[in-house]
Structure 1
Amino acid sequence: MHYIDINTYTRKWIFTHASMPVPAEDLAQIQPLTQARSATLWREFISSQSPDSDHFGKGDWAAEDKNWTETVEWQAAWDDDEPALPEALADFLDWEDNTPVYFCYEKYNLIETTWAVFKRNWKNFLFFDDGPLLIARKKTQAVWFHSNGTCKIGHRNA
């Protein structure tokens, strides 16, 4: 079993908060991974040495400026009443709606969902904006969100 029940997930409130509840059909597709599975995917796709984005260093693809092509502002769209992703992100991430994506908070805390579910509920995921990364297993595009309201977009090592 690679998933934990959303009802036992410590950050469940970000998806059920009264000001921005995720619809039940989407909530069913937001799957927090076990710590063991999270750590495995983190090592495979993010870093074999750093436990979170604050500690990226030599050897981590995310720490290399050459992998990031642009910095995009996301905070204004998050504060806006419209649910849409910032246009620059939507244009850059031209994934199919059924593409499995991973929202990576840190080594032991990853969430799997689909691109369609993430797009509809991206604001919920960013209640915690302290350096999470958004990736898809078979895609190289990556987004690294920062708490200053910006994110880097680029390509990870496949």
Structure 2
Amino acid sequence: MTRVAKSTLALVALVAAVAAYVLVDAFLGSMPPIGFGWVTLLVVAAVDVLLAIRIRAAISDGGVGQDRSQMHPLTIARCAALGQASAVLGAVAGGFGAGLALFFLPRLGELAAASAELPASLAVLVSGAVLVGAGLFLESACETPPDDDENGGLGEPA
């Protein structure tokens, strides 16, 4: 599995920011308040970090294998996919929060909703960035260590 590219995450965040700006401009009167949905992003980030710490410990202690007392390699691969998905979700959320903040900041004096929604927009932006970091940390924790032999696990050349 290849690692998620930072340029992909930046592009996703940019598209989400533009979409948020345009959607808020078009539908401001009929949108519900942002609220505390950003807390969910922080919970997912905490789960990602805890999984990464557990996986790093299992890899460094040699606790990866198919025994019941070991962490299964398929579980680690699934966690790597979770890390990539978390990074992409964090980029979407961070971009969305940036688009909202860029819409509300210049309108602080003229819109009542701007002063009410700006703190939540910034919270979405920050929690999205935290989720990107946690997702990338989980993805990097799931990498296999390099082989000790020079032949990549193959037999000696004849």
What TM-score, normalized to structure 2? 0.24
Decide which structure has greater helix share: 2
More strand by share: 1
Specify which structure has the bigger relative contact order, considering alpha-carbon pairs within 8 angstroms and separated by 6 or more residues: 2
| TM-score of the superposed pair, with normalisation by structure 1 | 0.24
